[in-house]
Structures are given as structure tokens and as C-alpha cells.
Structure 1
Amino acid sequence: MKPDMRPRQPPLILIAEDEAEIADILGAYLTRSGLRCSRAADGEAALVLHRQLRPDLVLLDVQMPKFDGWQVLSELRRRGTTPVIMLTALDQDVDRLTGLRVGADDYVAKPFNPAEIVARVQAVLRRSAKAPSDDGTGVIRQGPFEIDLRSHDVTVRSGEQMHALNFTLTEFRLLVHLARAPRQVHSRADLLHACLPEGDAQERTVDSHVSKLRRKLEDAGVIGIPATIRGVGYRFLD
């Protein structure tokens, strides 16, 4: 049987934005950059299309009818690790940190340059496409963790129980990076470079992602991972 020589489809971007003019502009710029687009005008439609189309990334407005962006993001994170970039008129630091804590991979305040959105989309897609290398098994086993690099499945043992955990792409990359060298202390700058190389290069962004990662582990009964090394950064094991 001949191999399938059909070209791979370009990544699909779901634009969840209730302002038609903004959605039109974003769609035009993304299409011009070689990406496919689908659109949802409210939060309910965004969730339906996400389940139907399985997009590679979601551009998600916060202030939408039916379900707002925070509600949609929470449901997307319950479903899995689809990368999400938040689009919002709210530009306060607390709103940015809220988006990152809930599980956004990036956050852009309106008004924005559509070309910048395209660049951020491409950056997040590149990060999501990178499969970390390993010794050939495709699995990292470290302490109570079993991390499958191909499927992005993470299981952790707590007592006699095994828990399957869901992480955002950035949280997963942080976990893998730290688990590869569990006793090494990683500075925030190192983690920014390794796990958010084209993102918003602020140390507090790393802190926000690590905090959310840690809370998920605590909910599964794993305490103190990652460990904070005061004045330096983080390491996997204390």
C-alpha cells in the first residue's frame, strides 16, 4: 500500500470573539499567514466548535455573550491542553495573572496589533509542536511521576493511589524541564527561555504558571513540588 502523500493541513485557529470587525481582521491576518480559521461569536458556540473541530489553538475574548472567556477557558482546561491566547480590553496586572492562573498560555490586551497576534499564535504553536527528547522510551519516571512525552499524559502516585493529571502546555513543559534535572536549581530566566521562549518575558509569569502547577499537584496529594529556592528560582525536588 502506498504511503499517504497528502499534505498535512495547516493548524486550525478558533477565533472566539463577539465583535465581528475584530474577528474579521484576525481571520484575515491569520489566513494570510497560512493558517486555517473558524469563528465563534459567543462562549457557548466556542465550546461546541472546540469539541467538533479540535482546533490547534483558541484565540479567546474575555467579554462574550452566554459564557464569558473565563468560563470557556475553565471548561477547555477541564477537557485538555488546547493552547489558549486570551484577548481582552482588561489590561490590569490582576486580569493578566487571573488568565494565567486559570490556564491561558498567553494574554494580549486590546487594542492590539494583528501582526503581533499572528506572531504570538505562531510562537505558541511552535512550543506545542516541540516534543521533548528523552532516552528513547518516551516516558520520564521521576519520584512519584510518570510523564509520557508523546501523549502528554501525566500520572502521579500518592500513597496507594495513581492520579491522572491535566496540565496546560506551559505547565507540562515546566514539569518536564524540571523533572529532567530534579536536583538542579533553575532560575526564572532559565525557565522563561526553556518553556516560554517567545512569550511575555516577565518573571512573574513563570511564578504564576508554577503556582498553578503546584496547586494541581497538591490537589493530587503531592506537596512541595516544584520547590521554591528563595532568591534563585525553582527545582523539582527539595
Structure 2
Amino acid sequence: MSSKSAAAILQRQFKDLTDPKKRIPSFHIELDDDNIFLWNIGVMVLNPDSLYHGGYFKGQMRFPPDFPFSPPSFRFTPAIYHPNIYRDGRLCISILHQGGDPTSDEPESETWSPAQTVESVLISIISLLDDPNGNSPANIDASVEFRKNFEEYKKKVQKEVEKSQRNIPEDFVMPVDADNAYDNQQSKKTGPTEEEHVDEDFWYDSEEEESFDEESLMDRDDDEEEEEDEEEEDEEEEDLNMKS
């Protein structure tokens, strides 16, 4: 794939992720010096159960010229204290590792494929912050402290969260709904579309068409009983005539 094709794909993804109506509220994305292959990304953690809750962490995502056949790279600037983040800020995460490597123990379903997007990478980064991968530590000290001295690890993270909040851009619109902070607005449906509109009177109309009048039903039963009586009388009459 040519770099022109990669640039066109990135242009579409960048447009969707920065469109006010479609973007993911918890990410602040800008191009670095108008370079479509280098994105500056702010990651806001709004999960109240996360140690990194309230943090705004800056990072850079760099894309190769054959994207999406090769994965981008991601680096936090500055680095974050986390078991899966190197001291220089580089991120160690399966989704950014090229798939098809026979020497890797990572499942193919978790590594990079051309079907992945910038959005799926960002969501994976948020998940990793909340749930470190102990099998692939990038920062040994952070990994050991996370397992053996969690309270001390927690204190260091909280200091970084407080420090990171100074980097929140003035024009950043803080999401008000943490449950939907990482949802792409384009995929939401708040109600039926015009084509899917359901007529509220539909069921009432159907019931009226299939309803019946109890009195009419009773009259019908009476008529049927009279017909049966007449048939019985005719049969008795025929029997008498045959005997006589």
C-alpha cells in the first residue's frame, strides 16, 4: 500500500474522531504540525474505579506508511508509572504488536490486524491502564510494586494523576457521562429512526379488528342450538314414518 492510501485512511479516521458529533469524548486529538502520520492525543480517564481516574495523559501516536497493514506506535509524553509502560513512555500492548509472529506467545485475536482502527487502539489503552498485564512488564519496578506493595504504587499513581491535570487544554470539553465517555457517538441510537418509527396506535387498531361482541357470539350459539334441535326433530319424524 502506498503512503497516499495510508494518508487517505488516516484522514477519514481523524475526521471521525475529531467530529463533535461523532468523536469519543474522552480523547483530545490533534495533528502534530499538520502531519497526518503523527497524532498528539490526550487521554482522559473517567472510570471512577480506576487508579488513574481524573488523569489527563498526553501521548503521541505515529503511523507507518503502509498503515493499516502495519500497526502504529504509541508513547506517553511524559511517561506514566505503569507496569506496561517503558520509562521513555513507550507502550507495551498486544494490539500494537504485529500479528503472525511465530515466536510470540500473544493470541492472534489480541495482536494488530488491518481491521483494527485508531479508536480500537485508544480503547485498548484505557483498558490497559485499568488492568495491567503482569505477563509482559515493561517497567519491572512498577510491576513488582503493583504486586507486592500496592499501596505505595497507588500513591505514586495518584501523584501523577494530579500532575497530569495541569495539561488539560482550556478548550477540552469534559464528558459529563462517564458511562459513555469512550463511546463513538456515531454508533449510538437514541431512538427509532423515521424508517423504523413504530405507530403507537398499531396494537390498538389490531385489537379492534380482531375483537368481537359477546352478545353477537351468544346469538350465534343460540342459532346453532336451534338448528341442531330442528335436525333432531326431522330425524325422529323419519324414524316414525319408517315404522308406520
Greater strand percent: which structure? 1
Fold similarity call, TM over 0.5:
no
Structure number, greater radius of gyration: 2
Instruction: Pick 1 or 2: higher relative contact order, CA cutoff 8 A, min separation 6.
Output: 2
TM-score, normalisation: structure 2: 0.25
